[in-house]
Chains A and B, each alone.
Chain A
């Protein structure tokens, strides 16, 4: 697959800006290190030339920012990787942003790197990370340059990429890819095969680390409520910190349930979790169940599709049968 360069994207943005097709650009801004890329608004080409970056750490899904951006005047240019386009469509389905105010450029993606995997592999003192086609060269303070296999440090969601196909764009750079056969449900299936006690212990261990920073919720393109039930003092369940393991479970069950059928499996929740809780395993359980019970459904694959939880058939599975499916 052709590699998309920073320059190609700046060139595209420059053309669109000068033609007056867009007024500003939503893009990735370089930081202090090789990996701390921040979403930012660029108002002109000069700003882009200074700080714009596109590379292995441009994983952030910008779709949700459109909710805020399209409330402003003018048109915004957004670059969408294949998985971002699903979130884009899902938000459109839910009428969460104004499509007229967006110019979407689809860009191919060959996978993003998880900086935590690099940190784990090379340890402290990362001075620079340079990526080549198959390898990643990491310069460190203590051990010189270390070479890693690029595939070994891909983020989890990219290792289990579900699609290289863009399902929404105004314009596409490069060639479109295909929907892939991924193994993304393997981990879920593994958990399902465990005993109830083992599963309970697994989740107790994972969820007990939660610090209730709400990053998983706040980054989620499907979580766009004006006021979350967990932030609303009148809801009776508002809490700023989980007082015990019940509240931990409640938050995570409800968070995942609320996006069930709307979650596109973009993986942002797990990416941003400061405590590295595998939140995608909750979301994927719902997706897997939905696929099993009600037929394959990919949220965001098309605009306007009816999500499984606001739909039904007369022959749906009974809840009592559903809980036994995992044992099969």
Chain B
């Protein structure tokens, strides 16, 4: 039995209309995904600004994933298109600063994709777990 197994903290921003419902579906279908994933519901993936991502890391997250409706399916028509551009630039910048690119991810999950939600989270948690603790974007004050 492993006693002190490292459990990463994962923040998942999920849009209200697709991905959050997708998470719900995963739950009602009893599809398992790790309890390390903390879901935060947002009205649209577009609500997430770069500060949210950085603040999640500051507060102790080891990985941040952002889930929204598939491009073209946004409840507000175009919100996720903006998300896509923003996150492409932000993630590229984080990588430029030498921060592991595997710690951030954007995934499109519809309300019908409970299985995809669970699979995505399983995969993301495993990836972050293999990276270990977030050291490059940590705020030690939050870890005491």
Which residues of A come within 8 Å of B, CB atoms?
188, 191-192, 196-204, 229, 236-237, 243-244, 246-247, 249-250, 253-254, 256-257, 260, 282, 285-286, 289-290, 293-294, 308-314, 316-326
CB within 8 A of B91: which of A204, A243, A247, A322? A322
Q: Is the CB of A199 within 8 A of B82?
A: no
Given contacts A246-B137, A285-B96, A318-B88, 4 further A-B contacts (CB under 8 A): A196-B95, A312-B78, A312-B85, A324-B101
Q: Is the CB of A237 within 8 A of B97?
A: no
Chain B: interface residue count, which band?
Answer: 35 or more
Q: How far is the CA of A247 from the CA of B136 in the complex (A)?
A: 12
Question: Which B residues are CB-close (under 8 A) to A324?
Answer: 101
Number of A-B contacts (CB under 8 A): 123
Q: How far is the CA of A290 from the CA of B97 in the complex (A)?
A: 17
Q: How far is the CA of A317 from the CA of B105 in the complex (A)?
A: 14
Q: Is the CB of B84 within 8 A of A316?
A: yes
Question: Which A residues are CB-close (under 8 A) to B99?
Answer: 196, 200
Q: Is the CB of A196 within 8 A of B140?
A: no
Pairs A–B under 8 Å by Cβ, sample size 12: A188-B96, A199-B96, A199-B97, A203-B97, A244-B139, A247-B139, A253-B97, A285-B96, A290-B89, A309-B82, A309-B89, A321-B88
Tell me, rounded to whole Å, the shortest Cβ–Cβ distance linking A242 to chain B: 11
Q: How far is the CA of A316 from the CA of B91 in the complex (A)?
A: 15
Where chain A touches its partner, the secondary structure class is helix
B1 sits at the interface (CB 8 A): no
From B99, which residue of chain A is reached at the shortest CB distance?
A200
- A196 and B81 contact, Cβ closer than 8 Å, known pairs A237-B51, A244-B141, A253-B50: no
Q: How far is the CA of A310 from the CA of B57 in the complex (A)?
A: 26
Which of chain B's residues 78-124 have a Cβ closer than 8 Å to chain A?
Answer: 78, 81-82, 84-101, 104-106
Question: Which A residues are CB-close (under 8 A) to B91?
Answer: 319, 322-323
From B87, which residue of chain A is reached at the shortest CB distance?
A319
- A316 and B89 contact, Cβ closer than 8 Å, known pairs A192-B96, A197-B98, A244-B140: no
Which residues of B come within 8 Å of A, CB atoms?
50-51, 54-55, 57-58, 71-72, 78, 81-82, 84-101, 104-106, 136-141
Q: How far is the CA of A279 from the CA of B93 in the complex (A)?
A: 13
Q: How far is the CA of A243 from the CA of B92 in the complex (A)?
A: 25
Q: How far is the CA of A116 from the CA of B68 in the complex (A)?
A: 48
Q: Is the CB of A282 within 8 A of B93?
A: yes
Tell me, rounded to whole Å, the shortest Cβ–Cβ distance linking A279 to chain B: 13
Q: How far is the CA of A200 from the CA of B89 in the complex (A)?
A: 18
Question: Which A residues are CB-close (under 8 A) to B87?
Answer: 319
Q: How far is the CA of A326 from the CA of B99 in the complex (A)?
A: 13
Q: Is the CB of A243 within 8 A of B105?
A: no
Tell me, rounded to whole Å, the shortest Cβ–Cβ distance linking B5 to chain A: 26
Q: Is the CB of B92 within 8 A of A285?
A: yes
- A286 and B141 contact, Cβ closer than 8 Å, known pairs A229-B51, A253-B54, A314-B71: no
- A243 and B141 contact, Cβ closer than 8 Å, known pairs A293-B88, A320-B106, A323-B95: yes
Q: Is the CB of B92 within 8 A of A326?
A: yes
Q: Is the CB of B92 within 8 A of A323?
A: yes
- A318 and B89 contact, Cβ closer than 8 Å, known pairs A237-B55, A246-B138: no
From B137, which residue of chain A is reached at the shortest CB distance?
A246
- A198 and B96 contact, Cβ closer than 8 Å, known pairs A246-B137, A246-B138, A316-B85: no
Q: Is the CB of A257 within 8 A of B89?
A: yes
Tell me, rounded to whole Å, the shortest Cβ–Cβ distance linking B61 to chain A: 12
Question: Which A residues are CB-close (under 8 A) to B137?
Answer: 246, 249
Q: How far is the CA of A309 from the CA of B78 in the complex (A)?
A: 13
Q: Is the CB of B81 within 8 A of A322?
A: no
- A318 and B51 contact, Cβ closer than 8 Å, known pairs A203-B98, A249-B97, A282-B93: no
Tell me, rounded to whole Å, the shortest Cβ–Cβ distance linking B27 to chain A: 26
Question: Which B residues are CB-close (under 8 A) to A290?
Answer: 89
Closest 3 CB pairs of A and B: A200-B98, A312-B81, A199-B98
Q: Which of B50, B91, B104 gathers the greatest number of chain A CB atoms within 10 Å?
A: B50
Tell me, rounded to whole Å, the shortest Cβ–Cβ distance linking A297 to chain B: 12
Q: Is the CB of A289 within 8 A of B89?
A: yes
Q: Is the CB of B98 within 8 A of A257?
A: no
Question: Which A residues are CB-close (under 8 A) to B51?
Answer: 229, 237, 250, 254
Q: How far is the CA of A293 from the CA of B92 in the complex (A)?
A: 11
